[in-house]
Chains A and B, each alone.
Chain A
Amino acid sequence: MIVVEGVVKRFGALVALRGMTFEVARGEVVCLIGPSGSGKSTMLRCMNFLERYDEGRVVIDGETIGYEGDGSERRVRRAVDLARQRRRVGMVFQSYNLFPHQTVLENVLEGPVHVLGRPKAEARAEALALLEKIGLAAKAGERPARLSGGQQQRVAIARALAMKPEVMLFDEVTSALDPELVGEVLQAIRGLAEEGMTMVLVTHEIAFAREVAHRIIFMDEGQIVEAGPARELVMNPRTVRLQAFLRRFREGYML
């Protein structure tokens, strides 16, 4: 369903992605892991064109994200076209990025009502059902600033789901949370996986990745170093770099 093919991304002289190639099947959960600065966020942001990749392509359901035309004819899509493509791809950020001037319910309604133009009453019922599902119906009228980090992150998930995306992208969505709040967010993601949502997650929660992901992609310095079925990759890392990465990880946990 998602095909990433030779994606290269440069920031000036720095090459953040050096030809990333992988696929994600419908209903598959893929985790991206790797050291800080290895390009995980950049890869994810290229997948909904929040970051403009320089070479290669990201194809979702047969449509190239961000560009139209081919070869030397290739050019960036118009703003409305980019916006249309992004509607099919939900994204959740490390720093929640809720709309601070709106209530929780308004945050969730914003997409369906103001982007998709759906009738408010209908969208409202669905939004409330979504909030119910993530256990935040009681907070519908609150401003994000009054919620805990875990609650805000769950609202951010609901906001993305309200668009009924075909793919969900998660960028280290538990990294900013206090340890005791991580569980509730992971639980919400686990629920989505069980429902068969296609997802790409950047995460530092290796245990969670092993349990929930079908496949894990380990990247370093903008390249895929090792990829494979989640359990196998964590239990029997083949490359020295992944072994070292996992070892550092376990030591980190013990401290």
Chain B
Amino acid sequence: MPEIAALKYLPVLVAALATTAKLSAMVVACGLALGVTLTAAAHLGGKAVALAIGAVGYVVRGMPLLVFVFGVYFALPPSFTFDTKMLAAVVAMSVYMAAFVFEIFRGAIAGVPRGLTDAASAIGMTPRLAFRRMVLPVALRMTVAPIVNRTVMSIKGTSLASAIGVWELSLAGREIIQRDLQPFQVLGMIALFYFVICWAVALAGAAVERRVSFEH
């Protein structure tokens, strides 16, 4: 069996993987929370608020993530007490994800068929009750697949944190490749790490989707 020379870098890569995992977890958690908050704000805050959130979201979604990460990084004041790079990455990527999450929720809510709200009204539900008991539960089920999709993209997107110097999987890999002549083995290991994480997320998502299916 041929020796995989790059295996000696495994400890370093695993250490970097820990950062990637931490960054991913924070981005996905904050992105989801912020996205849900924005959806609620747009819904409860009246037309002007909804319009403002929609407009900002549109602009953010239209930006390449890399540009957005740089923008937030340079906008933050330099600090010696905490890790500005990590903070910038978390903030930028969370907001970026939230913009998509908001759009997914907004679209799902708008996509709930008129017949459903008609039926809810017809049995004497107020619009508020109908929203809580019918529109939201039905819309949420529609969001599982796109949210999982977005989560996977956010996790892969954390590799762009390397551009502002966050020492995570991609940056660690690049450092090794610059010293070593085994780029494909190292890249292969990194790709495998990302793949396994994203695959696990996709599997979990599929399980959730099955559970909430209308036929289940």
Contact = CB atoms under 8 A, between A and B. Distances in A.
B133 A110 contact: yes
A115 B216 contact: no
B215 interface: yes
Contacts of A80: 126
Interface in A143-197: 143-146, 156, 159-160, 163
A115 B124 CA distance: 7
A138 to B, nearest CB: 18
Contacts of B134: 99
Given A114-B129, A114-B133, A143-B216, A159 B123 contact: yes
B150 interface: no
B129 A98 contact: no
Interface string B113-145: 101101111111111110001100110010000
Given A100-B138, A101-B141, A84 B124 contact: yes
B126 A101 contact: no
A239 interface: no
Interface in A14-49: 48
Interface in B72-129: 113, 115-116, 118-129
Contacts of B124: 83-84, 86-87, 111, 115-116, 163
B150 to A, nearest CB: 22
A80 B118 CA distance: 15
A249 B95 CA distance: 60
Nearest to A94: B115
Contact of B115 (A93, A146, A163): A93
Nearest to B130: A83
Central interface residue in A80, A90, A97, A145, by most chain B CB within 10 Å: A97
Interface in A110-152: 110-111, 114-116, 143-146
B123, B127, B133 interface centre (most CB from chain A within 10 Å): B123
B214 interface: yes
B214 to A, nearest CB: 5
Contacts of B129: 83, 114-115
Given A90-B122, A115-B129, A143-B215, A97 B138 contact: no
Given A145-B214, A146-B215, A101 B137 contact: yes
A160 B125 contact: no
B122 A99 contact: no
A61 B77 CA distance: 69
Interface-central residue, A82, A86, A90, A98, by most chain B CB under 10 Å: A86
Contact of B119 (A82, A83, A98): A98
Given A95-B115, A146-B215, A101 B138 contact: yes
Which of A84, A111, A156 gathers the greatest number of chain B CB atoms within 10 Å?
Answer: A111
Contact of B122 (A84, A95, A101, A160): A160
Given A114-B129, A115-B124, A159-B123, A93 B214 contact: no
A141 to B, nearest CB: 12
Contact of A79 (B113, B127, B137, B215): B127
A160 B137 CA distance: 21
Contacts of A156: 119
A91 interface: yes
A143 B211 CA distance: 13
A50 interface: yes
14 contacts: A50-B122, A79-B126, A86-B122, A91-B122, A93-B115, A93-B122, A95-B115, A97-B115, A97-B116, A100-B116, A100-B214, A101-B212, A110-B123, A160-B122
Closest 8 CB pairs of A and B: A87-B124, A97-B119, A97-B115, A111-B123, A91-B122, A100-B214, A83-B126, A86-B124
Interface of A: 48, 50, 79-80, 82-84, 86-87, 89-91, 93, 95, 97-101, 110-111, 114-116, 143-146, 156, 159-160, 163
